[in-house]
Amino acid sequence: MLIAIHDAEWHADFSLNHLVDKEAWSHYLNHMVEHNETHLDRIFHALADPTRRALLQRLTAGECKVGELAEPFDISLAAVSKHVRVLEQAGLVKRRIEGRAHYCRLQPEPLVEAERWLSFYEGFWSQRLNALEAALKAELDGTSPKEEKADGRR
């Protein structure tokens, strides 16, 4: 991230906390968080629907026309087009128009952002569940989990 500092009082011993405390910076950083949350919300909203997930799966084979994309589904072309629009808004699909034909292709990059978010919580819950497991084992053994030595022995 490129940070431009326009503060006349800036000096060599500034810290990130000093910058974050500034009202203008706080607004900028809050806007970034809100934008990222909005984008993540769009991604997860798009992935929440089984039809849209199936459309993404079909697009892993390569670019195709919206009509071809719609063939295996028992819904109207207009409904498929609406699903494609939701996927476009999430950044998961790119539409290209050539004459009257609309071509769609998969854009997997936004999935990296979703995977990063999920990975954080996977690590968080893994730690919590490991601590719970240790506490339950200790309770069954009649010892405290803190009594366990570094090598795992009591």
Give CATH for domain 43-107.
1.10.10.10
Distance of CA 76 to the CA centre of its chain: 30
For the chain, the domains span 43-107, 110-147
Q: What is the mean pLDDT of residues 46-64?
A: 96
pTM over 0.75: no
Q: What is the pLDDT of residues 86-112, one digit of tens each?
A: 999 999 999 999 999 999 999 999 999
Q: What is the pLDDT of residue 38?
A: 87
Query: How crowded is residue 70: how many other Cβ atoms within 10 Å of its Cβ?
Result: 21
Q: What is the pLDDT of residues 135-153, one digit of tens each?
A: 999 888 887 656 555 555 5
Position 1 confidence tier, pLDDT thresholds 50, 70, 90: very low
Q: Is the pLDDT of residue 9 over 50?
A: no
By the 8 A CB rule, do 94 and 107 touch?
yes
